[in-house]
Structure 1
Amino acid sequence: MNGLKYINEVYDEINMKIGPLNASEQEDPLVSSFGISKKEITDIIEFYRSRKLAEDIDCLVEHGGVQGLVEKLKANKENGLSSTEDQTDRIATFGKNERIKEKDKTYLSICWEAMGDMTLRILTVSGLVSLIIGAVVDEHPEYGWVEGFAIIIAVVVVVNVTAINDLQKQKKFNDLKDQNNKTKCISLLRDGAWNLVHPNVLLVGDIVKLENGVTIPADGIMIESSQIEIVEAAMTGENENIKKLGYKESLQYRDEFIKDNPWICDKAYTEDHHHEIPSPVVLSGTNLTEGVGVMIVLAVGKNSAEGRIMDLAEQEDEATPLMKKLDKLAGSIGKGGLAAAIITMIALYIRFIIEIGTGIKVWDRHKDPNLLVKYFIIGITVLVVAIPEGLPLAVTISLAYSVKKMQVDNNLVRKMQACETMGGADVICSDKTGTLTQNKMTVSEFWGVGSLFSFDKNPPSHKTFQAEYLHLLKESIFTNSSAYIDPKKGQVGSKTEIAMLLLMLTLGHSDYLETRMNYFERFYKIYPFSSKRKRSSIVVSLEDGRKRVHVKGAAEVVAKNCSHYINIDGSLRKMDADGQNIVNTVIMSMTEKALRVIALAYSDIQTNLDIDSVDEHGFPLIESQNLILIGLAGIRDPLRDEVPDAVRKCQGAGITVRMVTGDNKATARAIAKECFIITSDDQLVMEGKEFNEITGGTVCNKCKEKICPCARNKKEHERTGQPLRKDVVANFEQFKNIVKNLAVLARSSPDDKYTLVCGLRQMDHVVAVTGDGTNDAPALKKADIGFAMGIAGTETAKEAAGIILLDDNFNSIVRAVVWGRNVYDNIRCFLQFQLTVNVAAVILAMIGAITIQQSPLTSVQLLWVNLIMDSFASLALATDPPTDEHLKRKPHKRKDFIITKTMWKHIFGQAILQLSLMFAMVYAGEYFLPEFDDNENIETNDNNGKTVICGRLYDYNGEELYKEHYDNSKYGPSRHFTYIFNIFVLLQLVNEINSRKLRDEFNVFSRIHKNWLFIMIWIITFFIQVLVVQVGNYAFSCNRFGLSVLQWLVSIGFSILSFFWRWLLLLIPSGVFPEAGRELSSGEMNSGILSIRASGLNRRHSYNLAA
């Protein structure tokens, strides 16, 4: 009575919330066409999401259950929707199953975003002020505006280069997202036939089949359910498996639960029982981890549960080791640059004030306002040059370039940082099937009716077996399988099941589809394969009404539950000790030949047995009671030809390869030896059960419990306020002892793989792991780099991974290592180049400004240098292709310095050369920089013959030197300082070639021909420099006649000294130099030290390509 009262009260509440359920609802003009509105569908879903007991089921009852929904939605459970019917009304009412694409940034919006940088804004304002003062107040307004205008143009160029790069990056990743999106498919019933289609075509009312590993594509109601479990972490943050039942079973469960627990209907009882009663409602975006079933689609696209939360902000990905190191380095450089800029401006202003105060200088209202603005611009320019804002661009360009190239090597990168992280990987935990092997399975040996048959040498004919036995074998293989061979698509389904089908084909039986159809109406219960149970089973009704269960699974698991086996004469023989020894001997013999052994068994179910009964583990009892062994199949999956060499390459590169497999120890050991994962007898092969017992699995670092209230992710943490959980190995010391020699983890579960990954990361290893199953998702997410199988992998595994292996091949992982190391090296090359320019340009500008009241390089010239070292150099140096040399050294560690001692030697060494040449030219250039006879329009230094006239604007004591000539359009900027600017830029171009090498290598030109982009950019930069010098005039403070051919040769001669100087630096031991650039501590990460332009490093460089 209490249960009925509860249900009636719930119905009243439903009616209050959603109103009376009729076909004339006023808010939706199309509701009469379908009998149910979009709002009513949303209410069903929301009742589930907020359920305390079973409100969603009650709401479904109000709608007439599944049959009522089918009628209201004009659907058809047996045949699905018709493709010939006009679905315009359906689409107009309920929408399409398409995600609203995030609007791409426009060119102007990216430019505006770039202008958000404070230094660029300051430069823009300074340029405008300089332009106005130069045009209005300056003594020579006809060209006084040029420098301010040139600064604005330089800012425009920087902003546009940034925008163009961002647009290209955006396009590349849109292309990758589209490619990744094309791989999704779902089984849909239309026109009475099941077809694989893209989830985007789903409509409300469609009938969809859900299978293990699929991501639910839309909200729906389960019509049929077989052992379905779903993880709703993507929607709710809850990582537990949630059981789902079909609508009828859920309704029955609800009624029985309320009957057995009448007190729960008391309104005074407020405790939630959210999942106590299984629900038939499934939410889009959640993951099916176990079972199979059929659902009717209720809500799609933006109207689905996932669609309604799509606009929530994405969470930031954890910074990678490289980005952490760059953050630390950029912070240090940024603070140094800020100090240099402040010192420069203060020194200039103090000197100006002293000169005015002491009478050395008289205030000139035409010149001095512009001069004061120039001092400020010089300081800001020093800051711009000092701060390595090119680092994020270099990282992004290198990663984007590598991501594109990695596709050629069958690596589809979903998360951009996974590419870089792979360079530091020192452990690879690899699956066996399909990754190390070809995943082309065939039955090599078969044991049945007391005899062993070889299908490799002398395959038996069907006449070898009795007809009754063949019928039983056929029934077992054909019914307990969903695999098939399609003339167009080839082999579809489990490769193990395909191997069994081919076995029957060899024995002359190809009628598996007809057999299945004959049994289809008699399929009573299906228990899909589970990695925990290591078997699958099906209950069928025989023609005489009896029920029979067929079990297929791991030989040692199934065989130990067999009470009998079929003898050679077809009779049943009891599985006594002798029989068990025979079976075990056969299994061991097969496994030692690297065969995977599958057992086939059956049992005729007694009428009084409860088919739904489960044991203490929740496994069906019928799978383990009184089974009769039909046979043992030894399946061979040949090793990929390239795997042994790939494994040896990894070992030579300092990477430990471990195999994680579901095979037993003997099979796993044989295969591991074949591919050189095991090379010595002291290497350990351990089964997952033993591994779990020793290590204790994973526990929360805070609570020390396997299950605790701590939040599993940031979303849950923000929702509940619980601290974030960090998983660690329970018995870490024991883990460290065994993992040193652990080569193979056999008979392992996804939980064992997760424990292994957690422990290795605790030991500070950089771990890559492969996975294909839905239950592999936690390990794929936990690892530094997760590789999902593109062919055999479930959609859930692909969503969790950072990289998808398009060919499921271990060799592709090795290529990913090469690309990852190449990214790391390319960023280092760029750093080596940029820091040399930083040191030289900042010191030159600062010392020059203090001593002679001018930076030897003007603001516009420095901005041009900045453009060279940021945009052009990042594009040139960050795209150097990889070589196999990357696999001949150990991986870099998390705590390694990004700037090595050798790099600092060349950074400081080249900076010293550049500064020595520059200071010599600034302070004494008029004594040795030649002026040639062909320059009749240029005055020479009368005191020193054919050398340039001194171009310093002011003397050391503040008196004017070339200032008057500079302001005179007849002369303009000097040849002296044009030389300085040109030689400084050419030194950078030469050092750009030097910077391609990170170690003490003599030949800096080796493999330069492999990077045509570098050569092209270098040549373009050189020719732009020629144009700047020859026609730049006041805009770039270059002499109006430029430089002569001979003067260009002199400039080039000075610049190539950088090559010879590098060879001298090779003689200096690197050990005397420091290192720099390590990861930030947690305190430093939150201290805000990157508040100036280097904060660009913290911009997100992770792109989820599945979004």
Structure 2
Amino acid sequence: MLARIPLISGSNDCEKASLRSGNTTQSQQQQQPNTYRLSEEDEEYTAVGLNENEDHHLLLSNNSSRGEGRTLESSDSQDTLVQNPGKSRAGKGTSDTAYFYNLKSRGKGVEDLRSYDEEGELEISDYTAAPSRRKVTLYGPTDEDDSDEPKSRMSHPGTLKRVMTAIRGGQEEKPERTIYINAPHRNAEQKYLHNRISTAKYNVATFAPKFFYEQFSRYANLFFLFTGVIQLIDDLSPTSKYGTIFPLSVVLFLSAVKEIVEDRKRHAQDAETNSREVKVLDLPSRSFQLKKWRDVCVGDTVRIEGGEAFPADLILLSSSEPDALCYIETSNLDGETNLKIRQGRQETKDILTPEAVAGLEGTIKSEQPNNSLYTYEGTLSFGGQTIPLDPSQLLLRGAMLKNTRWVYAVVVFTGHESKLMRNATAAPIKTTKVERMVNTQIIFLFCILLCLSLICSIGYLTRQRTGMFELYILGQARENALTQFGKNILTYIILFNNLIPLSLIVTMEAVKFSLGGLINTDLDMYDEASDTPAVARTSSLVEELGQVDYVFSDKTGTLTQNIMEFRMAVIGGLAYSDHVPEDKKPRVDESGVEVGWHEFSRLMENKKSHATGPLIREFTTLLGVCHTVIPERDEENPEVITYQASSPDEAALVKGVQQLGVYFHTRRPKSVTINVDGVDKEYQILNVCEFNSTRKRMSCIVRDPEGQIKVYIKGADTVILERLAMHNPHKDSTVYYLEEYATEGLRTLCIAYRDVPEDEYQKWAKIYERASTTINNRQDELDKAAELIEKDLTLLGATAIEDKLQDGVPDTIATLMQAGIKVWVLTGDRQETAINIG
């Protein structure tokens, strides 16, 4: 039978895909084809599995079908939809199953299945348009024809639906944004957010409501407002009308002045930021013209000079450095002062002139704005090619260009859609612990005041109603008792209102303002080396400094100097060090096993003749190849090389392995060259599975000079050890030395590798390529792909890196502990390392 099934996509594109269905019996094969559709009202077909040999085929199953297994094929694309004979299921008859291959959609090209779940939710990657994750539901009815001939169960009108579902958060997924390069009018139609920012707490329209809400969230002010209002009523107040409302107005006025002064500083800072200038491409003149940051738009191409900050989130195209490299400082984003490397794609590295930039035509399909500083997913399409974009091409607003003369980049996120501003919260209304305590005490005092007022009102009413003096001498009229009682309560509240002193709030505000000024001028908190004074950004919170119970501190770069030095290594169960203490010198224990540490000079000897020689050579080669370090040659003295690394650990390992006879000196886009004992060897870099906080490891897939493909991997012991092959004779001894290094306060990494057959790599490379070109959820897909090849590893050993404490850290921690403050160290290192640091 012939079925025509409309494919309804999230973009409302519709195409009829032709499928051929027939039973495997001879009688059914002889039937004349007829056209049918699937019905939307009846039974549901869901995705239940994938063909293990063809992982891009989708298995659909109709669990309630009672027919035979069928062979389905697409007559449009001529791609066979593989037969899977039905299998008996208790109470459910026979399954109707098919593998769908190369689903087609008009104007969108080939879509490959990426993943599935038991509910039929699929992630489909599209190479020529925006990929998305869709729910595929196939409906099919029971054939109600009374004919005796066997019939297909799919014989009524219906549809195959693809419904957009969220990848993150369980919400409806928004389509990715499309940015047109050098097409400002098309970008203007998208109505992207402007680049003007505001970090101020108030503006002209919001000052009054926000300020009064904040002030009257304090119970004292609320109480005095209530007292001041009833004091204005002549019949109730035994005191001056303005005895409370005037002092309260003075308090509110002073508080308003303080808020205005502090918020004007924020407005001034915003104005200065928005008025900075950047060079933006002017298409008519094909040159770069200065434009204020606030006028920068999504899709603009900008030129950033060395030392300038990035005005928005940008995609790097090219730079003054070879291979589109640039170096950035992100201290405004994450507090880290070490330089980080960003690199444009090889396809755009030769766009080096304004004319070349102006001639670039293409689109960027980007993820939606989010607050993740370390992730980015997108694609760049131009010149008939589509290339993936990742965080290594992303230049974040707030970062600064360093050690690079200039870069060309395209704006993708502006203003409050930039990742920096997405992480910045609006200035909140904060209350201190003292204020919360005062609010509680004021409620308690108000209850006492109310009780006193009730007692006095009852006493006064009783005397007024029964006392002869009041009735006959004073001649007081007998008005309604309930009305008189209510008036008396309010009158006594006015009389007793000094129980809650108005000066309390005034005094607290004055003290806070004064303390803020003292902090700003305190010489003990002034750092002369960097010319940086202490700054009290919010004077209303200064008393919180005296309420601190815990200090949580990062270790690397905060407690330590962030200057890494390669100190020790264990290879093949033998430990080596650049310096061996007397108590660690090699010796033979009772069992006849040699223990202790060896000098690095012994390692060089063992590399030539010892049984562990092959492991040592593989270990040192791995350290020289498995990294993302960029060597920079000095212009005046080319023999001098400076290593630029995104992580100081990597730079330390590359420098340290020089002691072991491996010298890394050249990096090209697809290869690295190392000098091994005086001989240059070039290793082809096939793929790099980068480090992240979830994986806790990085790996390189390389092809050595002999043509052998290897996986080189380094990472935390917790993730490397669990991925080892069954037979690893040096595992126990390596773990022993890892614990020993950690107790010395050293940072440790495990080193492992394995040889990869050519056919296995070719299959894996296709999976990795598909993962790298997805837009949504790309990092998860890349991590899944890496898992497939990072297995059955051979453990080579481990490294130990020293990161010394900064000057004054021990004294500072001791002082904090004397003050009763508990100090917690936050680190990704082993627990023994953190304990040693503390």
Query: What is the TM-score with the length of structure 1 in the denominator?
Result: 0.36
Q: TM-score, normalised by structure 2?
A: 0.45
Return the structure number with greater relative CO, CA threshold 8 A, min gap 6: 1
More helix by share: 1
User: Which structure carries more strand by proportion?
Assistant: 2
